[in-house]
């Protein structure tokens, strides 16, 4: 069955910001004698409110935490602005537009951040919707709320939409909304359990929507 819409996660899927933020947390904790447990950090990927701030505060003291976080964030944001789209993403976006499919960004991040970095990536045009958690843990992935809202606003049935995700939290949200979901892990999420996805691909380079429709036929 052909798709009517493709719903893209943003961080880690369109561009590999997840690796940048993982390295930022790892290096900051190491700077103060701590260590970042990959399994602990995995829980915060694709959602909000689970970053290891308590672990960092225990190392440096709560009074110093805001300044250290500000420094870490500024460095990570600078590095994110040097990123390029992940392989194959631009081609899939072009194919959506050539076929007249709706496309939307479904993200647990802030919309302001998503739109800013899309501009840096040269991908700011043509999105039908930005559906973002904007810091609200109650609607962030793995809750399906953002996907269900997108489907309502786009007026698309779940069976006629495809979700592209990179994390277990994102996959769980998409499947909870009744979507077909392709997981495309990045360097940080490749070792995580993405088995709830309908299909796992190491990359979408060279993959077309027609290929994916055939897989789900």
The residues assigned a catalytic role are 9, 11
Structure tokens at 34: 């701590």
Query: Is 41:187 a contact under the CB 8 Å cutoff?
Result: no
Task: Retrieve residue 167's tokens.
Answer: 């994390």
108 Cβ neighbours under 8 A, 6+ residues apart: 11, 46, 47, 48, 132, 133, 140, 141, 146, 169, 170
- Contact, 106 vs 153, CB < 8 A? no
Give me 150's structure tokens: 């997108």
For tokens 């088995």, the residue is 195
Contacts of 115 (CB under 8 A, 6+ apart): 124, 130
Q: How many Å apart are CA 199 and CA 47, to the nearest integer?
A: 21
Measured distance CA(108)–CA(79) in Å, rounded: 20
């Amino acid at each position: 069955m052909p798709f009517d819409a493709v719903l893209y996660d943003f961080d880690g899927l369109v561009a590999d910001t997840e690796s940048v933020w993982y390295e930022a947390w790892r290096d900051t904790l190491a700077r103060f004698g701590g260590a970042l447990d990959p399994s602990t950090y995995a829980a915060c990927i694709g959602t909000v409110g689970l970053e290891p701030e308590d672990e960092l505060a225990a190392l440096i003291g709560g009074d110093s935490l805001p300044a250290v976080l500000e420094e870490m964030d500024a460095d990570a944001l600078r590095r994110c602005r040097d990123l390029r789209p992940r392989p194959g993403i631009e081609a899939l976006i072009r194919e959506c537009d050539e076929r007249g499919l709706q496309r939307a960004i479904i993200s647990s991040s802030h919309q302001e951040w998503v739109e800013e970095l899309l501009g840096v990536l040269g991908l700011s045009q043509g999105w039908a919707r930005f559906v973002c958690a904007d810091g609200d843990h109650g609607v962030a992935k793995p809750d399906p709320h953002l996907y269900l809202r997108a489907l309502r606003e786009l007026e698309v049935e779940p069976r006629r939409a495809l979700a592209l995700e990179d994390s277990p939290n994102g996959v769980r949200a998409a499947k909870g909304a009744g979507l077909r979901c392709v997981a495309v892990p990045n360097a940080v999420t490749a070792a995580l359990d993405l088995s709830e996805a309908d299909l796992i691909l190491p990359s979408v380079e060279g993959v077309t929507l027609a290929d994916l429709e055939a897989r789900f036929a």
